[in-house]
Amino acid sequence: MGTVQIIQKKHHDFTTVSVAPGRISSFLLRRQYWQVYTRSPHHYQLDEAPGLNSSLRGRLPELNFSPSNLSLETVVVGKWYCPFVFVKECDGDLEEQMKKFMFYVVKLEQRWEKIVECENGENRDGKVVYVDVLVERDKASADEEEAVCDWGHVDNGVIWFRSAKNGEGEEARLLGLSVLVAERMRWEQERVGWRIDELQRQVKVKRIEEFEGHGEWRKFGCYVLVERFVFKRMDESVLLTHDFKHTNHISCKWE
């Protein structure tokens, strides 16, 4: 048939001409005129996904809460759509996955997470609190099961999340992400200070905090900044959450 050029004659009408010497277009493409139609699927609806909001991310969530608060605000600082070809779900075949979940919604969230709390009177030295705690660098959950990401171990272009309970092995695999997606997540974290260390998955946070307010304090809380990637299927079920804890951003609150 050769190479053809598609020419739009009217608003919806198209025809073709061959651009290869001595060749002609196929009969179907030579018809005067053929039309192109598009159809949107009815089982899902895609809204706007503007990507990363760098200015909002740089501001960090507000610290307008007290140590007594049990739930803290979550701020969405990025949103994307990830095509199904970049995700490998272990309990289904590719054709079924394509029919059900053509895209996955990916969000990047920020929040403060409490790592230390105490009340005054618990053998505290006046206005001073000593913080000495181990914090996990990252924490993942695949289909609500605790998982570990095999950073640096690429298998046919895929980085796997395996069960944190079962150890290593084929049977422990829970979810696979294309190395392109996984490395983009990692890059987004490393460029704002997070660091990976597969041999040392915990970071020690050790500091001395002093109360500078008037009167006596009642409660104290120490918080680490957490950035979380959330992958959701089109039916709103959560496929993956991956928390990255930024120990370079520590804040304390007194009450």
3-state class (DSSP) for residue 113: strand
Residue 37 or residue 61, greater confidence: 61
Map out the domains of the chain as residue ranges: 1-38, 44-254
Banded pLDDT at 131 (limits 50, 70, 90): very high
Pairwise CA distance, residues 255 & 243, whole Å: 28
Residues 104-130, mean pLDDT to the nearest whole number: 87
The 10 Å Cβ neighbour count of residue 76 is 14
Is the predicted pLDDT of residue 20 greater than 70, yes or no? no
The 10 Å Cβ neighbour count of residue 239 is 21
Pairwise CA distance, residues 124 & 144, whole Å: 38
Residue 226 or residue 90, greater confidence: 226
pLDDT score, position 1: 46
> Across all residues in the chain, what is the average pLDDT?
85
Selection from 12-16, 55-59, 161-165, 232-236 with the highest mean pLDDT:
55-59
Q: How many Å separate Cα 13 from the centre of its chain? A: 42
Percentage of the chain beyond pLDDT 90 is 51
Is the predicted pLDDT of residue 122 greater than 80, yes or no? no
Is the predicted pLDDT of residue 40 greater than 80, yes or no? no
Among 56-60, 142-146, 211-215, which stretch is predicted with the lowest mean pLDDT? 211-215
Q: Dump the DSSP string for 166-231.
A: T-SSGGGEEEEEEHHHHHHHHHHHHTTT----SS--EEEEEEEEE--SSS---EEEEEEEEEEEEE
Long-range own/partner contacts, residues 123-129 (CB < 8 A, 24 or more apart):
127/210, 127/211, 127/212, 127/217, 128/208, 128/209, 128/210, 128/211, 129/208, 129/209, 129/210, 129/211, 129/220, 129/222, 129/252
Residues 21-49, mean pLDDT to the nearest whole number: 66
pLDDT score, position 4: 63
